[in-house]
Amino acid sequence: MLELHSLTAGYDRRAPVFRDVSLTVAPGEAVGLLGPSGCGKSTLARVAALLHRPDAGRVTVDGRPVPGWRHRAPRALRTSIGVVFQQPRLAADPRLRLRDLIAEPLRATGRRAEALARTAELAARVGLTDDLLSRRPHEVSDGQLQRACLARALVLRPRWLVCDEMTAMLDASTTAALVSVVEEYRREHAAGLLAVGHDRVLLDRWCDRTVHWSSLAAPPPGAAAPRAVPGKEPARTGTPA
Ligand SMILES: Nc1ncnc2c1ncn2[C@@H]1O[C@H](COP(=O)(O)OP(=O)(O)OP(=O)(O)O)[C@@H](O)[C@H]1O
């Protein structure tokens, strides 16, 4: 399980972006997260990916409480979660050729020997040719760079994936291609997924269940209980777009 318990997080402890938010993703489950712009979805995704320390609350991964974030998180926990962000250009080292970008986590974890075979396998999966693998980020399109970022997220075979608006900048065919790569990976590895997005239709098709931000945050004292999202079943099966 990837469990987020009563999280309070933000960028200023005196005024957190959200308080007391809880969410659980079961092994092999795909959970979509919808919510208004600025409510804190990306912040929550970064906490779940162990990249942003919450002010309060706790995260447990496969029953193991997370003792620290970023470089303070144990490597085994960090590498059990793959992350893809909305803007690949902000997430990619502009100096690296795409093949080195994909292999970066292998090099960082001392598994350089696997880089050649694993990069070739993942490049084929995400649809990157040899020519594209030899280029740097400024020489490829956003969609091609996002394909490389997805391959990088999968390279260590994570048990959990956090996709933060992964397809927001992409056209319909690239979106469909990337979603099907994620789904194929999840089928093979029984990986859990937290997919943040704005596109309800896509999330409903992609995920087993879609939750709305308003149902996650505990209400302030004295307020009404969180409302269910109208028309949403708690769990459903979906097929990739
Ligand atoms: N690095 C940062 N420093 C300070 N404030 C930030 C930072 N990143 C985000 N914020 C603020 O935190 C709040 C939540 O941002 P976040 O990106 O988590 O929202 P979101 O729900 O993902 O929004 P969107 O759907 O527009 O991407 C916003 O008010 C935003 O301005």
pLDDT for 35: 92
Name the residue of 37, 42, 90, 214 whose CB sits within 8 Å of the most ligand 1 atoms, as the mutation to test its pocket.
42
Question: Does 230 sit in the ligand 1 pocket, CB within 6 Å?
Answer: no
Question: Rounded to the nearest 10 degrees, how much is the dihedral formed by the CA atoms of 181, 187, 190, 193?
Answer: 40
Ligand 1 atom, smallest distance to 35 CA: 21
Question: Does 79 sit in the ligand 1 pocket, CB within 6 Å?
Answer: no
Per residue in 130-186, pLDDT (tens digit) is: 999 999 999 999 999 999 999 999 999 999 999 999 999 899 999 999 999 999 999
Q: What residue owns the CA closest to ligand 1's atom 17?
A: 42
197 CB burial (10 A radius; 0-12, 13-18, 19+): buried
8 Å CB contact between 6 and 54: no
Per residue in 209-231, pLDDT (tens digit) is: 999 999 987 655 555 444 434 33
Per residue in 68-119, pLDDT (tens digit) is: 999 999 999 999 999 999 999 999 999 999 999 999 999 999 899 899 999 9
- pTM of the model as a whole: 0.89
Interaxial angle between packed helices 142-154 and 115-126, expressed in degrees from 0 to 180 and rounded to the nearest 10: 130
Question: Does 35 sit in the ligand 1 pocket, CB within 6 Å?
Answer: yes
| ipTM score assigned to the predicted complex | 0.97
* Dist. CA 37 → ligand 1 center (Å): 8
Structure tokens at 230: 């109208």
pLDDT for 194: 98
Question: Does 32 sit in the ligand 1 pocket, CB within 6 Å?
Answer: no
Distance of alpha carbon 239 from alpha carbon 241, whole angstroms: 6
Distance of alpha carbon 33 from alpha carbon 83, whole angstroms: 15
8 Å CB contact between 149 and 91: yes
CATH superfamily of 1-80+159-241: P-loop containing nucleotide triphosphate hydrolases (3.40.50.300)
Domain edges within the chain: 1-80+159-241, 93-157
